[in-house]
Structure 1
Amino acid sequence: MPYTHQSMDALREVGDELADATVAALFERGEVGTFNTLMRWFSRTGQDLPDGLPEVAREYLDATGAPPAWVDWDEMEKARLFFIDNNVHISTALSFAAMPACYVVPHVAKLLSATHSLDYPSRRMAETGQFTVYLMRPDAFEAGGRFIPAAQKVRLLHASIRHHLRRADRWDVAGLGVPICQEDMIGGQLMFSLQVLDALHRLGIHMSEDGARSYYYAWRVVGAMLGVDPAHAPADLESARQFSDLYMTRHMGPSEEGVRLTRQLIDLYEEVVPGTVFDPVVAALIRYLIGDTAADWLDVPRSAWDTLVKAAPALLGVLESLEDRSPLAAWALDRLGALTTNLELSSLTRGRVMQYAIPEHLKSEYGVTSTAPRTDRWTPPPLTAQLPARES
C-alpha cells in the first residue's frame, strides 16, 4: 500500500487495544505486582500458567499464546538459517546501526529513556539481544521455547508505558499521537529488519535475495505478535523502504536524549573492547553505518578510525569468499560467530534471563539460508522519491 503523511498520521492515533485493555485492568485492580511476581516463573511455551494469576492476564496470555495463523514456516526456517549464517554481523548491525537509528528519532529516544534507568544501558542491549536470540532458536515457537512468552511480556511492557504516559499527562498526545503508536511500532520493526539488512549490505556481507526477504518476513511476524496491525505493516522489502524513508523523514533529528543514549552505547561497548587503543573503533563503526548527518546529531565523536573502518567491507569480503569456497571454513566461521554472539550476550545479561516486567511507575527523570546460492545477491530497495511536504 502507498504510505502518505495522512495515512501515517492516522497510525499515530492507534495503540494496541488488547494489551492496553489488559494493562489498564491490572492497574485498576492493583494486580500489577502480583502479575510480575508470578510471571517470573512463566518463561517457556507450554508451561502451566501459575496459580493466582489475575484472570485478565490469563485471558491475554491465552489470546496471544500462538503465532499468527498466516505464518509461513518455510520462510521462518530460512530466516533462522540466515541468522545462523550471519549472526555476528547481525549483532553488529543491531548494536551499531539499528539502536542508533532509534536514538535519532527524538520522541523514540525519550521513550527509551523513560523505559529503563539511564544508568543501566546494558539492560537495554541485553533485552534486545536476548529477544533476537530467542526468536532465531529452532524451538522458538514450540513447547519449551522462550520466544512467545518474551513477546507477550514485551507487548505488555509497551502497553504499560502508554498507560503511564497518558495517565500522568506526560505526553503530548495532540502533537505526538499515542505513545508507542502503530507508526512507531512499525518503525521499530523496520529498525530491526530493514535497517539491519542495510547495515549488512554496507559492511559488504554476502546476502541472497531469498535470505534477506525471509529475514524481513520473520520480523513482520514478530511485529504482529507485538501488536502491530498486519493490515498496515509493509508486506515486503519494497514497501518497507517506502515506509522507512517517510517515517525517518517525518521524525528524525537531534535530541538531548539521543545524544545521551548514544554516549552510553559507545561507553558500553568500549568496555567490551580489550584495552583502550581500539576504543574509537566503536564510534567509527556507528558513524560509518548510520552516516555523518545522523552521527553528528548524536554527537558521535570523530577520529582517524573513521577512515580506517571503511576497510571493513574489504576484510569481511575476504572472509565471506573463504566461506563460500570451503564448507569447513563456513562451518568454522558460523561456530565462531555463534560463540562471539553468545559471549557478547552473556556479558550484557550477566547470565540472567531478562524478565520484561511491567513497570509500576516510570523514571522521575523523564519530563538467508546457508544452502542458497550466493550469486543471487541482495541489494537494498532504492530510496523512494521525495514525497510532498505535509500540508499545514
Structure 2
Amino acid sequence: MDKLNLYTNSNFDRLRNQVDPLADAAVVDIVKSPKWSDIINQWEEIPSPLPSEIPVSLKNYLQFYLDQYELAPQDTLKAGQDFFSKEGDIYLGMLGFYSLPYCYAFGDGAEVLVRSERIVNQIGQRLSETGTFVLEIFKPGAFYSHRSAFLTCAKVRLIHAFSRYFIEKYAKDWDPKFGRPINQEDLIGTNLAFSFIVIRGLIKLGKTVNQNQIASLLAYWKWVGNLMGLQIEYWPETAKEAFELDKLIRKRHLRKSDAGLRLIGALRNYYKLSIPDPLLNRQVDDIFYFFMGKEVAAALAIPVKNQIPPELLNLIFKFSGWKSYGNTKSHASIQKMMETQQLEQFGELMKIKIPTLKRP
C-alpha cells in the first residue's frame, strides 16, 4: 500500500489525540499494585507462563509480547543487526548528535521531554539508557534467538505510559493544544528519528546507503515500532515515504520553544564536559548545525560558527571509532566500550527500569 495518501494533516491531527490503550491500562494496574514494578524490573525476560496472580490488564499487556515470540521476521532482523554491527558506533553518534536534538526542535513533543527531570538534570544517565536500549534491540539474535529484547521494548513502552499517566493526572501546566502526552504522532516521529534520520546523517557524512539498506532498516523499526505500541499502518516502507512523513511532521511542529531550548542547552553542556575527544567536544554546536541544517538549528538557537566539511567530520568520527575499537568493531566491542564508560562515569551499568512506586 502507498502510505503517502495517509500522510495528511487531518489524519495526524487525530493521531495527536491517540495514545496506547494496552500499555495505559497496564500502568493503572501497576499503580494499584506497585509490587509489579519491582517484579518486572527483576526479570531477565518475560516469563511464560505469566505469574498466575498478575492483574488482568498487565497480563494482557505482557501476553501481547509472548504472542510475538513466534512471529519474529528473522531475515529482516538479521539484516538490521548486520548493518548495526558494521555501523553501530556511528549509529549511536547519529542518535546523540542528530536524532535526539532533532526531536527537541519539535515544540509540542519537547513539552513532554522537558517534564522529565532526568533528561535535564541526569542527562548522562538518560543518554546511556538510550544507548542500552538500542544495543539491546540490535544485539545479534535479538527477538528470534534472544528474547530479552521483548522485555526491553515492553519496559520502555511502560515508561512512556507512566509519563502519560503522571502528566495527565498531575501536570497542571499541560496545555491540551500539545496533544495527548507521548501520542501516536510523537511515537511515530521518534521512531523515525531513530531510523530514517540516522540514515540521513550517515548520508550527510558521505557514506553510501542504498535503497535496500534503507528499506531494511525501516522494516526493522517497523517491527520494533509494533512492539512499542505504534500504529504501524502509518509507518513508511520506502525512503520516499519516510521523506514525506518527516516533511509533514516538520511542517506541523518545527518551532522554537522554551522546552526545546532547555533540552538542547542541557545536551550541549553535557557533551562539552563529558566527551573526552577534543576533536568532538570543541565543535559541539558546529556538529549540531552540520546535521540539522539551517531551519532546525534556528529552532534550537544553535549558532553558526564554522561550516564543517562532511569529509572532515567523517574523518573525525572514523578516528574516534578507531581509537576506541581499532579494527575489531562489532556489536560486542561497542557494548563493552559502552559498559566501561558507564562504570567509569556512573559507577554502575545503566539498566532500563520502569518507575518504582511507593506502596500505599
SS at match of 1:64: helix
- Between the aligned partners of 2:209 and 2:328, the Cα distance in structure 1 is 15
- Within the candidate set 344, 357, 364, 2:354 is matched to 357
Q: Which amino acid aligns with 1:343?
A: M
Q: Alpha carbons of 1:34 and 1:262: their partners in 2 closer, same or farther (altered >3 Å)? A: same
Q: Alpha carbons of 1:64 and 1:171: their partners in 2 closer, same or farther (altered >3 Å)? A: farther
Q: Alpha carbons of 1:51 and 1:139: their partners in 2 closer, same or farther (altered >3 Å)? A: farther
For the pair 1:62 / 2:66, whether they are aligned, the reply is no
- Between the aligned partners of 1:337 and 1:232, the Cα distance in structure 2 is 30
Q: Alpha carbons of 1:21 and 1:111: their partners in 2 closer, same or farther (altered >3 Å)? A: same
SS at match of 1:204: coil
> Kindly, what percent of the aligned residue pairs are identical?
24
- Between the aligned partners of 1:260 and 1:341, the Cα distance in structure 2 is 30
> Structure 1 stretch 44-53 or stretch 208-217: which is displaced more?
44-53
- Residues 250-290 of structure 1, C-alpha deviations (whole Å, 9 max, x = no match): 00111122122112222222233337675322221111001
Do 2:19 and 2:184's aligned partners in 1 also have CA atoms closer than 8 Å? yes
Do 2:199 and 2:214's aligned partners in 1 also have CA atoms closer than 8 Å? yes
Q: Which amino acid aligns with 1:12?
A: R
Pairwise CA distance, 1:146: 2.6
- Between the aligned partners of 1:204 and 1:346, the Cα distance in structure 2 is 30
Pairwise CA distance, 1:296: 3.0
Structure 1 alignment gaps of length 5 or more: 320-330, 362-392
- Residues 284-318 of structure 1, C-alpha deviations (whole Å, 9 max, x = no match): 11110011332232233444xx2345433663899
- Between the aligned partners of 1:282 and 1:146, the Cα distance in structure 2 is 35
Do 1:68 and 1:224's aligned partners in 2 also have CA atoms closer than 8 Å? no
User: Corresponding residue for 2:322?
Assistant: none
- Between the aligned partners of 1:256 and 1:161, the Cα distance in structure 2 is 20
> Structure 1 stretch 288-297 or stretch 276-285: which is displaced more?
276-285
For the pair 1:172 / 2:175, whether they are aligned, the reply is yes
- Between the aligned partners of 1:77 and 1:336, the Cα distance in structure 2 is 14
Structure 2 alignment gaps of length 5 or more: 320-324
- Between the aligned partners of 1:348 and 1:318, the Cα distance in structure 2 is 22
Do 1:12 and 1:182's aligned partners in 2 also have CA atoms closer than 8 Å? yes
Greater percentage in helix: 2
Pairwise CA distance, 1:165: 2.0
SS at match of 2:301: coil
- Residues 202-254 of structure 1, C-alpha deviations (whole Å, 9 max, x = no match): 01112232222211211111111110112232233322221111011100111
- Within the candidate set 162, 165, 168, 1:163 is matched to 165
Q: Alpha carbons of 1:54 and 1:22: their partners in 2 closer, same or farther (altered >3 Å)? A: same
- Residues 130-158 of structure 1, C-alpha deviations (whole Å, 9 max, x = no match): 11101111231146543111110111111
- Between the aligned partners of 2:96 and 2:36, the Cα distance in structure 1 is 31
Q: TM-score, normalised by structure 1?
A: 0.78
1:38-117 alignment runs, 5 A limit: 38-46=39-47, 53-67=54-68, 71-117=72-118
1:378-389 alignment runs, 5 A limit: none
Q: Alpha carbons of 1:10 and 1:310: their partners in 2 closer, same or farther (altered >3 Å)? A: same
Q: TM-score, normalised by structure 2?
A: 0.85
SS at match of 2:37: helix
User: Corresponding residue for 1:14?
Assistant: 18
Q: Alpha carbons of 1:333 and 1:160: their partners in 2 closer, same or farther (altered >3 Å)? A: same
Pairwise CA distance, 1:81: 0.6
- Between the aligned partners of 1:318 and 1:258, the Cα distance in structure 2 is 30
User: Corresponding residue for 1:262?
Assistant: 264
Pairwise CA distance, 1:79: 0.8
- Between the aligned partners of 1:250 and 1:220, the Cα distance in structure 2 is 23
- Between the aligned partners of 1:260 and 1:353, the Cα distance in structure 2 is 24
Q: Which amino acid aligns with 2:128?
A: A
Q: Alpha carbons of 1:308 and 1:297: their partners in 2 closer, same or farther (altered >3 Å)? A: same
- Within the candidate set 124, 127, 143, 1:125 is matched to 127
Do 2:17 and 2:180's aligned partners in 1 also have CA atoms closer than 8 Å? yes
Q: Alpha carbons of 1:89 and 1:337: their partners in 2 closer, same or farther (altered >3 Å)? A: farther
User: Corresponding residue for 1:34?
Assistant: 35
- Between the aligned partners of 1:277 and 1:205, the Cα distance in structure 2 is 20
Do 1:165 and 1:179's aligned partners in 2 also have CA atoms closer than 8 Å? yes
Pairwise CA distance, 1:333: 4.0
- Between the aligned partners of 1:129 and 1:102, the Cα distance in structure 2 is 16
Q: Alpha carbons of 1:137 and 1:66: their partners in 2 closer, same or farther (altered >3 Å)? A: farther
Q: Alpha carbons of 1:346 and 1:229: their partners in 2 closer, same or farther (altered >3 Å)? A: farther
SS at match of 1:102: helix
Q: Alpha carbons of 1:337 and 1:65: their partners in 2 closer, same or farther (altered >3 Å)? A: closer
1:233-244 alignment runs, 5 A limit: 233-244=235-246
Q: Which amino acid aligns with 1:355?
A: I
Q: Which amino acid aligns with 2:20?
A: D
Superposed CA RMSD in Å reads 3.0
Pairwise CA distance, 1:14: 1.0
1:333-348 alignment runs, 5 A limit: 333=327, 335=329, 339=333, 342-344=336-338, 346-348=340-342
- Between the aligned partners of 1:195 and 1:9, the Cα distance in structure 2 is 22
